[in-house]
């Protein structure tokens, strides 16, 4: 399976997300995130230095796969996190270094 769709997903804690709800779902969230890593869809997970949340680096076959995975995360499913999808494309700017002046 080719994983040529690269996406950064920014997850931020919603104002009003109850600490008790986050604590109750913590283990399930970790297991879901680990499943993403184990299957190769999630390449890396980073915490945010400011505020509550995380960034997922994902590689999938389709954008629908990304959304399906993210929407299955317990914190997202329970509306505790806001989600921002940032689909990536190859950077081609370096070609300008070799273009005729």
State the Cα–Cα distance between residues 33 and 31, nearest whole angstrom: 5
C-alpha distances in angstroms, 68 versus 15, 52, 84? 24, 22, 14
Domains of the chain: 5-98 (3.30.70.1060)
CA gap 5, 88 in Å, rounded: 8
Handedness of CA 1, 73, 67, 50 (dihedral sign): negative
Per-residue pLDDT of the chain (101 residues; tens, 9 = 90+): 788 999 999 999 999 999 999 999 999 999 999 999 999 999 999 999 998 999 999 999 999 999 999 999 999 999 999 999 999 999 999 989 999 98
In this prediction the pTM is 0.90
């Amino acid at each position: 399976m080719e994983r040529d769709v690269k996406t950064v997903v920014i997850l931020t804690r919603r104002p009003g997300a109850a600490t008790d709800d986050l604590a109750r779902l913590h283990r399930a969230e970790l297991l879901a995130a680990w499943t993403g890593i184990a299957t190769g869809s999630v390449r890396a997970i980073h915490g945010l230095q400011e505020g509550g949340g995380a960034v997922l680096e994902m590689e999938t076959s389709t954008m629908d796969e990304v959304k399906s995975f993210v929407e299955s995360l317990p914190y997202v499913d329970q509306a505790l996190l806001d989600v921002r999808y940032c689909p990536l494309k190859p950077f081609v700017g370096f070609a300008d270094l070799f273009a005729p002046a």
